[in-house]
Amino acid sequence: MEVDNKILNAVAPCSMFCSTCTGCKYGDVSLHATELVKLLDGHEEFLDKNLKSEYRDRLDEFRIFMKRLKKFANPKCGGCRNGGASGCSIKGCIIPECVKEHNVNYCGECNEFPCNKVKESGFKDTTIKKWLDGSNKIKENGIENYYQENKNVPHYINYKNK
């Protein structure tokens, strides 16, 4: 099945969203951080010239903020589909090569899904659960529906205390 390149770049073969990850070069976080860096150009100099002495600590805070923001604007991961997953948190992931071998775009499209390869990979249980849940949704509803339902879900929402 032919899948739109936008979706292929947004959703990794494992079903996780590259497009919302802080490590993705072409992801939403990087794009928004880049825009903020542009919009804040000159603000450090403005603060330096205009802050009253009792508020000078805000200049240091701004510098720290900008340093971190620039890191978000320039992540290293180019995605696992093109072998550019240098920033992926799952080192040595077997899934990109496996989907190529099975001639599918996503695990959920594979006739062998769910397979024992991922279960035996040494991935954390939380990662395996995300893989199973996402891949099952792709299998049941198709990648286009999965993409539309999840494209704006924060990448790290499951880590938030509820």
Coil, strand or helix: which one is 77?
A: strand
User: Which has more pLDDT, 4 or 57?
Assistant: 57
| Preceding amide of 96 cis, omega within 30 | no
Q: Rounded CA gap, 65 and 67, in Å?
A: 5
- Pairwise CA distance, residues 110 & 135, whole Å: 10
Q: CA 135 to CA 32: how far, in whole Å?
A: 28
What are the beta bridge partners of residue 84?
A: 79
Of the CA atoms within 13 Å of residue 10, those in its CB half-sphere come to 18
Angle at 79 between CA 33 and CA 108, to 5 degrees: 120
3-class DSSP state of 84? strand
* pLDDT tens column, 85-110: 665 667 778 888 899 999 999 999 99
Give the pLDDT confidence score for residue 38 in this predicted structure.
98
Kindly write down the DSSP assignment for every residue of 90-131, as one continuous string: STT-SHHHHHHHTT-SSGGGSTT-S-HHHHTTT--HHHHHHH
Which pLDDT value is given to residue 118?
77
Residue-level pLDDT at 43: 97
Over the stretch 102-133, which tens digit does the pLDDT of each residue have? 999 999 999 999 888 877 777 778 888 888 99
A 10 A CB-CB count for 142 gives: 16
Tokens of 72: 């978000």
Residues facing 79 on adjacent strands: 84
